[in-house]
Chain A
Amino acid sequence: MFGKLVPVPSGAMIPDRDIGKKPILECVNLGITFGGLKAVEDFNLTIGRTEIAGLIGPNGAGKTTVFNLLTKVYQPTHGTILLGGKDTHGMNTMQVNRAGIARTFQNIRLFQKLSVEDNVKVGMDANMKYNMWSGIFRLPGYWHEEKAAHDRALELLSLFNMADLADVPAGSLPYGAQRRLEIVRALATNPSLLLLDEPAAGMNPSETAELMENIRKIRDTFQIAVLLIEHDMNLVMNICEGICVLNFGRVIAKGSPEDIQSNPAVIEAYLGKKKEA
């Protein structure tokens, strides 16, 4: 399932199969200023319902800042973010997640002392209903929902072949498994858009290949969109349908993998300007 990019009325490009459905994410002139420094400026991006999109650029280009804006870790100073057509203005991180954006972090942020299974269950918390008293007095709601959460957690974990690690403390997992667990935890929140911040960082080629499979599998199983930041160009060019290139906080190119690979501005950003002879 690899879509051809076609334009929507706004002029943005999304995969052909998502035409007719409202794009999951539309950023319009998004920007943030830190003490006079424009970290991200005029950021425009549209992502289709089931698109796998990539956000790339040299170090310090502002990629993670974009994620922080989308998830309201930082409040944008300009522009709007529409999630499934709904403005997320005024929402905080928690509300944005409940509205449908889940993310992973560049520097892994797991709940280190909790077990793998509990990390996933925390992701489901917002969708659980039993209250504190049911928990303390072990009322039927507790047993019922905990059982369901346990089953769902194991189901999600087995997607990534991690079910047998359920009882291990998350902090003691190997690096690659920690990255995978972050993805599972994000999925547990039932997102419609999954943001992955350097999911392949520190992985060897075979782990990366497996990750690529998994990202596709996630999209196909849950019918959600994925936006990923990644330095591994092999991964980006293989699974992303649309790519957005950021440099010094500005978008310098957008398009399909082929467009990006041959774009002179992108080559210049990565390799530097050719010296005059």
Chain B
Amino acid sequence: MEFLSYLISGVSLGSVYAIIALGYTMVYGIAKMLNFAHGDIIMVGGYISFCAMSYLGLPGWLATLLAMAVCTVLGIVIEGLAYKPLRSAPSLAVLITAIGVSYFLQNSALLIWKAAPKVYQPVVSGSLTLFGGQLSVPYASVLTMAACLVIMAALTLFISKSKMGKAMRACSEDKGAAQLMGINVNATISTTFAIGSALAAVAGVLLCTSYPTLQPTTGSMPGIKAFTAAVFGGIGSIPGAFLGGLLLGVIEAMAKAYISTNLANSIVFAVLIVVLLVKPAGLLGKYVPEKV
């Protein structure tokens, strides 16, 4: 029973990672950039929903929608102002810019909301009791897992069936050729950022519901973990991000429960290193050797 409850908390945490990792991996797949500011969008989503619920008294679902809307706009604006001018720049320059954006978001949040942690009001509370009270599953976990599944299914459908989804796949293969086929590459990249940022907002709400303290640096570590999850599953691959996120969450929860609380992150990262050594492109990633 104990194991089961750790497993559930692991899957729940992993679902949050998976949602964030989906955003990471989509942006990477198309823009070929590591968007280090992605984690901070989570934090912004957390604060927006916090304000909507605590100051405006909006219900949880409406607050989530509002957070998604704000983050979507934020994502598009960041992409347009900071990343778009660097389309042809070396990837390291884009990386540093993303880090600049990350600092910017964190320090803006620090000015607006101050450093003192906010106590987040969970969108759902209470627990589901199973097996005659032997196992209790927080509704927050149920919601998180359900949200992750829905998002994953919707995203897969969107990428494989919709016109925009096809455009995204085309752009991730070859931007030049996609452009020649009449695809608006800039609009496609913008849309990708928009979707990724909206997902980050959802992740922010879910993360704060499970771990209800909110600070300007709240998004950093989950951001790094989700990035790890995306690489773990094979960066650029959507099922990979899903799988990587879930595995990462479970490994982290199990490491905390059975090995050491202090070294949980180290164990997660060590597993990542081992996986990459065996599968250099991640679990589901494709290894494309350079053509000679």
Contact surface of A with B, Cβ cutoff 8 Å: 64, 68, 73, 105
Contact = CB atoms under 8 A, between A and B. Distances in A.
Main secondary structure of the interface of B (DSSP, over half): loop
Nearest to A106: B292
Contacts of A73: 292
Contacts of A68: 292
Nearest to A103: B292
A95 B139 CA distance: 61
A73 B292 CA distance: 8
B90 to A, nearest CB: 13
Interface in B242-292: 292
Interface in B41-85: none
4 contacts: A64-B292, A68-B292, A73-B292, A105-B292
B172 to A, nearest CB: 22
Contacts of A64: 292
Nearest to B291: A107
Contacts of B292: 64, 68, 73, 105
Interface residues of B, number: 1
B54 to A, nearest CB: 55
A68 B292 CA distance: 8
Instruction: List the 4 closest pairs (A to B, CB-CB), nearest first.
Output: A73-B292, A68-B292, A105-B292, A64-B292
A122 B126 CA distance: 68
A37 B292 CA distance: 18
Nearest to B290: A73
A263 B292 CA distance: 31
Nearest to A105: B292
Nearest to B292: A73
A113 B292 CA distance: 20
A152 B287 CA distance: 40
A124 B228 CA distance: 41
A49 B292 CA distance: 27
Nearest to A73: B292
A2 to B, nearest CB: 32
A201 B292 CA distance: 16
Nearest to A197: B292
A73 B290 CA distance: 10
B68 to A, nearest CB: 42
A66 B13 CA distance: 51
B291 to A, nearest CB: 8
A64 to B, nearest CB: 7
Nearest to A71: B292
A68 B289 CA distance: 13
A168 to B, nearest CB: 23
A106 to B, nearest CB: 8
A64 B292 CA distance: 8
B92 to A, nearest CB: 15
A17 B252 CA distance: 71
A35 to B, nearest CB: 12
B225 to A, nearest CB: 35
Nearest to A65: B292
B226 to A, nearest CB: 33
A8 B58 CA distance: 91
B292 to A, nearest CB: 5
A88 B158 CA distance: 51
A105 B292 CA distance: 8
A76 B292 CA distance: 15
A96 to B, nearest CB: 14
A267 to B, nearest CB: 30
B44 to A, nearest CB: 40
Nearest to A68: B292
B153 to A, nearest CB: 31
Nearest to A64: B292
A105 B291 CA distance: 11
A32 to B, nearest CB: 13
A161 B98 CA distance: 47
A44 to B, nearest CB: 23
A73 B291 CA distance: 10
A20 B292 CA distance: 35
A112 to B, nearest CB: 14
A76 to B, nearest CB: 15
A235 to B, nearest CB: 23
